[in-house]
Structure 1
Amino acid sequence: MHVPDGFINAPVSAVTGVVAAGAVAVGLRGARRELDERTAPLAGLVAAFIFAVQMLNFPVAAGTSGHLLGGALAAILVGPYTGVLCISVVLLMQGVLFADGGLTALGVNVLVMGVVTVVVAYALFRGLLGLLPRTRRSVTAASFVAALVSVPAAACAFTLIYWIGGTTDIAIGKVFTAMVGVHTLIGIGEAVITGLTVGAVIAVRPDLVHGARGLTAPLKLRIDGELVDAPAARPAAAPATTRSPRALWATGLVTALVLAGFVSFYASSNPDGLEKVAADKGIDEKVEEHAAKDSPLADYGVKDVSDARISGGLAGVIGVGVTIAVGSGVFYVVARRRRTPDAPDTTTAHDRETV
């Protein structure tokens, strides 16, 4: 759903840019409470993983494909504030290096693919956890539903922005119906990817999943008619929170590299949901050439490398490397500011509970 230059007029693009910048600023401040020096590299990994999976377009209907947006996945794994930053880093790398998503439309993309998906998904995720049993399976199930809903929500957000500042005169009802319809189908793929990923991480390191924190309620005993906390059992081994996340980080990085460097070659070549709707409804009549169209990595290929498989694979590997480097750097700086006077450490023992 990367919006190119020319879909939205200049005034509305400027306003969305300001709003997106404000959202990123809020994310930077909020991420101080979500990150520490242990989890910052994992947040960078989440950004790189989302970059890699976004290269894997999957077919959803005749002549149409979809790809992960990633807002739900990022919010659940590393927190909503950090999730907005993860998606923003991915979109920035895609726009500057790969000519994917317009530079003047960067604010639109951050709002639609980053802020809306994160806010809607995380709010729904938390609401579902309040209703479901407090188990790991509940986290996975809630992740599935939240991701599913977040994609058509993003389509609604784009439609609203297009209604306000679209550059072509198209009946907004037709745009809304087409966008929500195809992106509901794409949402199913988003939900499957998100649910599988969250479930896999919870299976090995539940302590590192932000959305799973605090799910284990203390065991209660009734003594003399009153409920009291049961004494904690002596652990047989060191708690998960003392183990290094390096194994998970290495596994995630290898997975991202394989997906971007090899599996991406087999992704669907059909236009994604927004591209298909834009072509069918005439939204793309005034689309503009990307400012970075001459980038050595434009269109996810390495310039002057003739073999398509090698060119795309190298571009994917480079993208993963750059994204994880930039993302980890940003998140490390944010984590280092966690204990400054204006950003006190508000983490409680309850926040550090694991599944």
Structure 2
Amino acid sequence: MHVPDGFINAPVSAAAGVVAATAVAVSLRGARRELAGTSRPSEAGSGAERTAPLAGLVAAFIFAVQMLNFPVAAGTSGHLLGGALAAILVGPFTGVLCVSVVLLMQGILFADGGLTALGVNITNMAVVTTVVAYAVFRGLVKLLPRKRRSITVSAFVAAVISVPAAAVAFTLIYAIGGTTDVPIGQVFTAMVGVHVLIGIGEAAITALTVGAVIAVRPDLVYGARGLSTPLKLRVNGELVDTPAAEPVPVAARSHRRVWLAGLATSLVLAGFVSFYASANPDGLEKVASDKGIDAKAEDHSAADSPLADYGVEGLTNSRLSGGLAGVIGVGATVVAGTGVFWAVRRRRTPEDPSSDAPSTSGSQLGESV
């Protein structure tokens, strides 16, 4: 759903840029608490040292999986947007930043998504998907039993809804600032219809990823914090909560293993599996072509980038060119993302709470299964 230059006029693109910049600024502040990784001030430093690289890894993973277009209908493909996945793994504010970093890397290095449309893309793909997905996710988590399976189910449903929500957001923006005269009802029907199908693929990827992390390290999943039901004791005929147990310390090498495994997976997906991705246009490209939305599309200002269109300039072997471009993209994204999140973490002020959600160790969550 990367919007190219020329789809939306300059005034509306500028307004979307203001919305996106405001959302990023708010997210930078909120991410300080999320990246603390713990509810205990005395533990904030060590928790943040681990969560900043993990957030950078989430951005790199989203970049890698976005290269894997999957077929959804005749002549149409889709790819992960990533808002739901990022919000559930590292928190909604950090999730907005994760997807924003990915979109920035794609626009500058790979000429994917217009630079004048960057505000539109951040608003649609980072802000709308993350906010909608996390709101749905938290609502379901409160209703469902406090079990690991509930986290996975909630992630699936949240991801399904987040994608057509982004399609609706694009349609609204296009209705206000579209550069071609296309009946908005047709745009709405086509966009929502195809992105409901894409949402199912997004949901499958999100649920599988969240489920895999929960199975190994549930304490690293932001959306799984605070879900354990406290044990109760009967005292003088009344039920009272038992004192909270101290979190079980986890060796730093365990976090490094998770990080290295995630990085290796991202590199394999971007460097090898991406070669087998669907070559069909994605949902927005297909709708734009069918409905004439792309009549005034403009060439990307970074079209002469040596990595444009996810290939390395000068390499004639398409497999090698695309794979190397994917590996470079993963590396650049993990470095940029980790740098951003490390800077955000270091800017935490003493009066900031360490986290806006209580921490839950893997053993605590396991007790409620």
TM-score range, shorter chain: over 0.9
Aligned 1:191-270 pairs, distance under 5 A: 191-230=203-242, 238-240=248-250, 244-270=254-280
Give a deviation string over 1:82-114, Cα, whole Å, max 9, x none.
000000000000000000000000000000000
Secondary structure at 1:37's aligned position in 2?
helix
Query: Which residue of the partner structure matches residue 106 of structure 1?
Result: 118
Identity, % of aligned positions: 76
Is 1:153 the counterpart of 2:165? The answer is yes
Query: Which residue of the partner structure matches residue 171 of structure 1?
Result: 183
Number of aligned residues = 350
Query: Which residue of the partner structure matches residue 6 of structure 1?
Result: 6
Is 1:345 the counterpart of 2:357? The answer is no
Is 1:303 the counterpart of 2:313? The answer is yes
Give a deviation string over 1:272-304, Cα, whole Å, max 9, x none.
000000000000000000000000000000000
Structure-2 change in CA distance of 1:214 and 1:234 (3 Å): closer
Query: Which one of the candidate residues 248, 265, 280 is aligned to 2:290?
Result: 280
Q: Distance in 2 between matches of 1:309 and 1:17?
A: 36
Structure-2 change in CA distance of 1:312 and 1:124 (3 Å): same
Q: Is 2:66–2:79's contact at 8 Å kept on the other side of the alignment? A: yes
> For residue 320 of structure 2, what is the amino acid of its counterpart?
I
The two structures, once aligned, show a CA RMSD in angstroms of 1.5
Moved over 2 A (4+): 229-235, 238-244, 345-348
User: CA offset at residue 224 of structure 1?
Assistant: 2.1
User: CA offset at residue 223 of structure 1?
Assistant: 2.4
Give a deviation string over 1:2-48, Cα, whole Å, max 9, x none.
00000000000001001100100001010000002220000000000
Q: Distance in 2 between matches of 1:328 and 1:149?
A: 29
TM-score, scaled relative to structure 2: 0.92
TM-score, scaled relative to structure 1: 0.96
Aligned 1:30-179 pairs, distance under 5 A: 30-35=30-35, 36-179=48-191
Q: Is 1:205–1:240's contact at 8 Å kept on the other side of the alignment? A: no
> For residue 82 of structure 2, what is the amino acid of its counterpart?
G
Secondary structure at 1:147's aligned position in 2?
helix
**Where does structure 2 lack aligned partners over 5 or more consecutive residues?**
36-47
Secondary structure at 2:104's aligned position in 1?
helix
Give a deviation string over 1:39-77, Cα, whole Å, max 9, x none.
000000000000000000000000000000000000000
Secondary structure at 2:129's aligned position in 1?
helix
**Where does structure 1 lack aligned partners over 5 or more consecutive residues?**
none
